[in-house]
Amino acid sequence: MTDEILVIGAGPAGLAAARTAAAYGAKVSLLDDNRQVGGQYYRHPASEVLRSVRGDLFDEAERGADLLATTSDPNVAHLPGAVFYGFAEEGIAAFVHDDRLRRMTPGATIVATGATERPVPFPGWTLPGVMGAGAVQNLLKGQRTLPGRRILVTGNGPLTLLAAANLVRCGAEVVEVLEAARNRPPLAMLPRLLLEPEMLARGIAYRAILMKHRVPFRSRHVIVEATGSGRVEAATVAPVAEDGTPDLSRARALSVDTVVAGFGLIPASEVTRSIGCVHVHDPGKGGWIPVRTEDLETSRPGIFAAGECAGAAGVEKALLEGELAGLAAAMRVGAASGPLAEIHRDRLRRRLRRLMAFRVAIEAIYRPPGSLLSLARDDTVVCRCEEVTLGEARRWTRSGVTEANSLKAITRMSMGRCQGRNCLPTVARLIAAETGIDVAEVPLPRPRPPLKPVGVGALIGKD
């Protein structure tokens, strides 16, 4: 084992971790499967020319320039395009870089692999013209391109509201914004909202943009179907009941060419689940998250987790957790110690507690109604890779196949390219609904290396 620190993921959390550990003199290997660092939040425009297009709106990369420059720190070895493959034997981390499989035995590892968009199947969700709220943000930031002209935004959570406001600011015609939650802060939560006035003001500003442009915002509403031949041409929407069932008697049709469906994020917890870290199911943070100490160490000694992969709660939390995990890992490998480091750590812990107290209120405001599984019909494809429908999966579940692993073996659900990122959350909700148990009692299949697709050549050492 070396005294080096491995950071998996160079988004806000991974970069903050690498920068902090390096500042204390630790040697850091920072890997990310993208060529450019920044993750989802600090997404770069695809070309310099584009940087000037609405640069006032999408200036994250400019504002984060200092953090993005972490890769030029002499203590940081940045490995662009490196894919973390998995942990081989005890403590040996394996990854593919430049088409070669490489191994290292770090003194500490920080998992900062982010989150993915929550898949909520509904009839027509696979039509061209339906896309996620995060995907829209990436299209606007990276390509400075609108996804369409007449757009319905539907879903649940703050990212969807952000995407809707940005679409309006970029000149798209947003016909309606539908939020599945009741979206009203319970009175008891008001004091918590005041803990982060800047973030509260940002949320209010996004709503104000919609009001200013007379875009109807409907809470407790959801899409029930997207239709069109070969691409989206219309969408049917309806109010949704407390249990997540849409009231079809009050359904309305809207003519649109794009549907932005953002139902929140799911922590990318494959790394921590693959090595058997203890996890809990926290619906407010997106699902299964690793149990961690106050210093963000998981149940596996020397493995820390930071950012969205340990609970989807926004970029501010990712940056703070990255800094704390970087400091804790630097302490673990002996690079950081003494009163100054402890004062720094305690300040970060306090800051994080305040932010998480605020997040409790945000989770209450955006608590979705039921599981929204009832949006899908039996003929709705729920596993996009293997084209398995809800009806097929339900038939097997009703015939006694009530484990995700067995359903996988029989139907091939989650055996495709996305390895279940698109269908496993639906599988878990289906099994829970059909067997009358809580989704937290439905174990997911254990991820196995390779955790992300890698070239076979790299594994067999083609050269």
At residue 428, φ and ψ (nearest 5 deg) are -65, -40
CA distance linking residue 308 with residue 225, whole number of Å: 30
Is the Cβ of residue 135 or residue 415 nearer to ligand FAD in the bound state? Answer: 135
Q: What does R_g of the chain's alpha carbons equal in angstroms?
A: 22
Nearer to ligand FAD, 83 or 442 (CB): 83
CB of 18 to ligand FAD, least distance (A): 11
Cβ 115 to ligand FAD shortest distance, Å: 5
Check: CB of residue 370 under 8 Å from CB of residue 245: yes
Q: Residue 305 or 331: which CB sits closer to ligand FAD?
A: 305
d(CA 98, CA 83): 10
Please identify, among the stretches 32-40, 240-248, 360-368, 377-385, the one whose residues bind ligand FAD according to the rule CB under 6 A. 32-40
Looking only at residues 190 through 219 of this chain, which bind ligand FAD when binding is defined by CB under 6 A? none
For residues 373 and 264, give the distance between their C-alpha atoms in angstroms, rounded to a whole number: 15
**Close Cβ partners of 103 (under 8 Å, ≥ 6 residues apart):** 88, 92, 93, 94
Q: Within positions 248 to 267, which residues make up the interface with ligand FAD, using CB under 6 A?
A: 265
Give me the least distance between CB of 119 and ligand FAD, in Å please: 12
Torsion of CA 216, 219, 225, 227, to 10 degrees: 10
CB of 45 or CB of 307, closer to ligand FAD: 307
Give me the least distance between CB of 116 and ligand FAD, in Å please.
6
In the complex, least distance from residue 130 CB atom to ligand FAD, rounded to whole angstroms? 15
- Which of 446, 114, 112, 89 has its CA nearest to residue 277? 446
Length of the chain, please?
463
Shortest reach from residue 339's CB to ligand FAD, in Å: 29
Integer Cα distance of 152 and 168 in angstroms: 11
Distance (Å, rounded) from C-alpha 387 to C-alpha 384?
Answer: 5
Window 69-108: contact mask with ligand FAD (x via CB under 6 A):
--------------xx------------------------
Decide: is 11 part of the binding site for ligand FAD (CB under 6 A).
Answer: yes
Among 7, 14, 364, 372, interactor with ligand FAD by CB under 6 A? 14
Spatial contact of 322 and 13, defined as CB atoms under 8 Å apart: yes
Sequence letter at residue 460: I
CB closer to ligand FAD out of 370 and 449: 449
With binding defined as CB under 6 A, does residue 114 bind ligand FAD?
yes
Nearer to ligand FAD, 109 or 389 (CB): 109
272 binds ligand FAD per the rule CB under 6 A: no
Does 355 help bind ligand FAD (rule: CB under 6 A)? no
Binder of ligand FAD out of 40, 71, 414, 419 (CB under 6 A): 40
3-class SS of residue 8: strand
Q: Does 220 bind ligand FAD (CB under 6 A)?
A: no
Rounded to whole angstroms, the Cα distance separating 170 from 154 reads: 18
Figure out which of the listed residues 203, 452, 455, 459 binds ligand FAD, where binding follows CB under 6 A: 452
In 10 A of CB 414, how many CB atoms?
A: 25
Residue 181 interacts with ligand FAD (CB under 6 A)?
no
Site for ligand FAD in 276-315 (CB under 6 A): 307-308, 314-315
Q: How far is the CB of 60 from ligand FAD (least distance, A)?
A: 7
Of 146-165, binders to ligand FAD (CB under 6 A) are: 159, 162
Tokens representing 281 are 């199911």
- DSSP string across 295-348: T-B-SSTTEEE-GGGG----HHHHHHHHHHHHHHHHHHTTSS-SHHHHHHHHHH
CB-based burial of residue 56 (10 Å sphere; 0-12 exposed, 13-18 middle, 19+ buried)?
A: exposed
The answer to whether 289 and 310 have CB atoms below 8 angstroms apart is yes
Among 7, 20, 33, 304, binds ligand FAD (CB under 6 A): 33
Kindly tell me which of 14 and 445 has the beta carbon lying closer to ligand FAD: 14
Stretch that binds ligand FAD, among 133-141, 370-378, 391-399, 425-433 (CB under 6 A): 133-141
8-44 burial, b at 16+ Cβ within 10 Å, e below that, comes to bbbbbbbbbbbbbbbbbebbbbbbbbeeebbbbbbbb
- Choose the stretch contacting ligand FAD; rule: CB under 6 A; options: 35-43, 197-205, 335-343, 377-385: 35-43
- Of the candidates 138, 150, 217, the residue with the CA atom closest to the CA atom of residue 184: 217
**Residue from the set 47, 138, 255, 435 that interacts with ligand FAD by CB under 6 A:** 138
If one asks whether residue 117 binds ligand FAD (CB under 6 A), the answer comes out as yes
Stretch that binds ligand FAD, among 114-122, 217-225, 252-260, 399-407 (CB under 6 A): 114-122
Q: Note the residues at the interface with ligand FAD (CB under 6 A).
A: 8-14, 31-34, 39-41, 83-84, 112-117, 134-135, 137-138, 159, 162, 265, 268, 307-308, 314-315, 318, 451-452
